[in-house]
Each structure stands twice: as structure tokens, then as C-alpha cells.
Amino acid sequence: MNENSCSFHNEEELRDGQVEGVSAGYPPPCDKDNSALLAFRGIPISELKNHGILRALTAETNNGWEPAVMNTEVLRAQEEWEAVDSIQPETGSRASSDQPGQLISFIEALQHFQTVDLSSFKKRIQPTIRRTGLAALRHCLFGPPKLHQGLREERDLVLTIAQCGLDSQDPMHGRVLQTIYKKLTGSKFDCALHGDHWEDLGFQGTNPATDLRGAGFLALLHLLYLVMDSKTLLMAQEIFRLSRHHIQQFPFCLMSVNITRITIQALREGCLSRECNRQQKVIPVVNSLYAAAFLRLAHVWRTQHKTVSDSGFVLRDLEVLAKKSPRRLLKTLEIYLAGVAKGQASLLGARKCAGPQAPPSKDLTFTGVCDLPPHSSEGTWLI
């Protein structure tokens, strides 16, 4: 066999080898950088990293291959690989309870306060109103009964939480804010703890901590209770819609803080002692009075066509009612919740006559209970 025939056969074998390589799924030897990228283009970046493929593709030498010019896609893939963290499988049991994005229940938030040291805040509380002279005699003869001894620690916890401020560095505090925001707006994403979006919920500024005067973190716990209890969530959403009415709008969260203040004052003055003694509980009674008072305010606001200029007078009448007839307010709440459970129309009538909604105005002049002059508890109150 001559030399030319040998050369011919060698070329034939080389071509056959190349065809077999392509049919077997391997890239042809030419233009290796583009063919390698095409082969792995559908694989997620995290998988490429885990298997070391990107490292091999972007290495300066790989089986003797050293491309003359670095392909832009290879360079971009290398940068992405540098930015990707190692993927660690995570089960539900391993997830941190303070992980951002997780909703928090009222019970979980309350347990946090039951386990941390609140001694510095407890020193500030005044559990009861100090009365002297005829006022003390009248209260002794005609006032409500004293709270049972076994319930006083629970009462003090409520008042102590009202002394605690909002700490943006505490993960639990952040989760409470995130839960309130998501439940009211329907958002699935976390939001910044400071920003204009809090004004949309009815805070006066971009930092909710500045609006908790007189109610402390208890104001946020009450909002959390309202949105996380399946029985009151619908009510919270309806009142929130009413607060965004184009004429009757009011700052929802700021109004809620004022209702928490009213509830705290009713507790301190002993107005809830009879009901707490009857139920042998304090926190559930305080929560229910808060929800009942908010429901009452919304009903008066809608039916009597109140606007934000009426806020101070509506809150003052609500405070008198909460102190004089807390049981009456609680009964109204029970009736409302029973109607919701049966699928009946809302007592607020928000579905029928809520009217168009408007973005919250920053020019609203809101008067809270702390901004009104002192008044006698014997004053007139709404029926």
C-alpha cells in the first residue's frame, strides 16, 4: 500500500471519528467554547456551581484547551458563579422563626414578651387610678369590683407591654410590622421598616414608632390580633377600606392606636374588672374590647357620615361608652362575628356603600384622645 493510500485512509478514519463523536452527543473539536456553552445553557447556575462545571469551563486550562479570547457569556457565567452562594437544603423545621417573610401570630408575639425581661418597663406602670376624697369613697361604694388577685399579674403584663416601644433591631418587632402590612394590603413581599408605605396604612410618618405614644407596642399587638384572628380579619379589612373612602377617609393605624389608649385607660380604671373576673382572663377581654370599640367607631363613622375633622369627638364619646358599658360593646362584637360566621352581610355595609377609595391624604388633621381637653366621665355618650 502506497503512502497516498495510507494518508487517504487516515483522513477517512479521522472523519469517521468526528461523526461518531457528534452522534454520541459530544461537541465537535472546533469552537469548543461555544459548543460547551450550548450543552450546558439549560442547566441552572446553582447546579453548575455544585458540580464544579463552571469552574472547569472558566479555568484557564482544561485538558490543554486555552481559548484565545474569553467569550462574553463565559465571563458573565463566571461572575454569576462568584455571586451565587452554596445551595443548602432547608427543611421547615430548620427554618428560623425570625426569618423575614414569615408571618407571626398574636400568641407567638405575646409569648415573646412573656419570656423576655421587662422589669425596667414594669417599674413605670400605674396599674390602677389613684382616687382621693369623695371620688375614692364613691368608687368604693358604687364603682366596679376589684380585679381578682390571680389576674393582676396578667393585667400588669398588658400595661407593661404598653410601656415598651418599637425596636427596629428586634426581629420579632419587625415580623409584627411585616405581618400587619401584608394582611392589610394583601402584599406577598416584605417591606422596609421605614418608608412612605406606612403612611398608606394610616401612620402619620414614615416610622411607625413615632405614633405609638400612650400605647406602646400594645398598639401593634392589637393590630396584629385584629388581622391574624380569622374571626376579625374581615372586620379589619372592611374598616381599612372605610378609612380610604374618598370623603370619609381617616388614618387607620393612628385611629387604632387611639382605641388602644382607650382600652388601656378602661383597664386601669377598673372598668373591665367585672368582665375579667367573669371570664377569669384579662388579655382576651382587653383584645375583645379593643375590637368591639373599633367596630363601634366604624359603624358610627359610616352611618353618621363622619369625617376626620370629627375624630376627636367620636373618640371621646367612644371612650365614655367603653368605660361605662364595656359589656354592651362586647355584645355588639359577638353579634357581628356571629353574622360573619353565617355569611351574612357586614354590619359595616362596606360592600354596598363603601364608595370609591382615595389615596391617604397627608393633609388630614387628626385629633386623638390625648389631644382633647379633659372631660368628666359623666358626659353624654352615643347610643
Q: Please count the structural domains in the chain.
A: 1
Is 266 within a domain? yes
**Nearest of 230, 248, 264, 232 to residue 128 by alpha carbon:** 264
pLDDT in tens, 224-267: 999 999 889 999 999 999 999 989 999 999 999 999 999 999 99
Instruction: Report pLDDT digits (tens) over 161-203.
Output: 999 999 989 999 999 999 999 999 998 888 899 999 999 999 9
pLDDT-based confidence at residue 98 (cuts at 50, 70, 90): very low
Rounded CA-CA distance 268/72 in Å is 70
Where residue 86 falls among pLDDT bands split at 50, 70, 90?
very low
pLDDT bucket at 93, cuts 50 / 70 / 90: very low
The string of pLDDT tens digits covering residues 214-226 is 899 999 999 999 9
158: region left, alpha or beta (phi > 0 left; psi from -120 to 50 alpha): alpha
Q: Domain range for residue 153?
A: 106-342
Q: Contacts for 326-335 with beta carbons within 8 Å, 24 or more apart?
A: 326/266, 326/271, 326/272, 326/275, 326/289, 327/274, 327/275, 329/289, 329/292, 329/293, 329/296, 330/275, 330/285, 330/288, 330/289, 330/292, 332/292, 332/295, 332/296, 333/288, 333/291, 333/292, 333/295
Output the average pLDDT for the chain: 77
Over range 7-11, report the average pLDDT.
49
Q: In the prediction, which pLDDT does 16 show?
A: 52
* Domain-located, residue 18: no
Distance of CA 165 to the CA centre of its chain: 17
Q: Could you read off the pLDDT of 283-295 as tens digits, one per residue? A: 999 999 999 999 9
pLDDT at 35 over 60: no
pLDDT (0 to 100) of residue 85: 43
Is residue 44 situated within a structural domain?
no
Helix (H, G, I), strand (E, B) or coil at 357: strand
CB 18, CB 28: distance < 8 Å? yes
Q: Answer whether residue 352 is part of any domain.
A: no
Given a cut of 50, whether residue 328 has pLDDT beyond it is yes
- Tell me: pLDDT of 337 over 70: yes
Question: What whole-number distance in Å separates Cα of residue 5 and Cα of residue 293?
Answer: 103
Residue 245 β-bridge partners: 357
Alpha carbon distance 223, 139 (integer Å): 32
Whether the Cβ atoms of residue 279 and residue 285 lie closer than 8 Å to each other: yes
For residues 308 and 250, is the Cβ–Cβ distance under 8 A?
yes
What pLDDT does 353 receive? 44
Asked if residue 380 is part of any domain, the answer here is no
* Stretch 120-139: mean pLDDT: 78
**132 vs 301, higher pLDDT:** 301
Determine the pLDDT at residue 214. 87
329 lies in some domain: yes
How many other β-carbons are positioned within 10 Å of the β-carbon of residue 181?
21
Q: State residue 305's pLDDT score.
A: 94
Tell me the three state secondary structure of residue 63: coil
Instruction: Provide the 10 A C-beta neighbour count for residue 362.
Output: 10
Given a cut of 80, whether residue 382 has pLDDT beyond it is no
3-state secondary structure of 380: coil
Distance CA 155, CA 173 (A): 22
Residue 167, amino acid? D
pLDDT-based confidence at residue 92 (cuts at 50, 70, 90): very low
Runs of H (alpha helix) within the chain = 3-23, 32-40, 45-50, 53-58, 72-83, 106-115, 119-122, 133-142, 152-161, 171-185, 197-200, 217-228, 233-243, 252-268, 273-279, 283-303, 311-324, 326-341, 350-353
Mean pLDDT value of segment 295-300: 95
For residue 61, the model assigns a pLDDT of 46
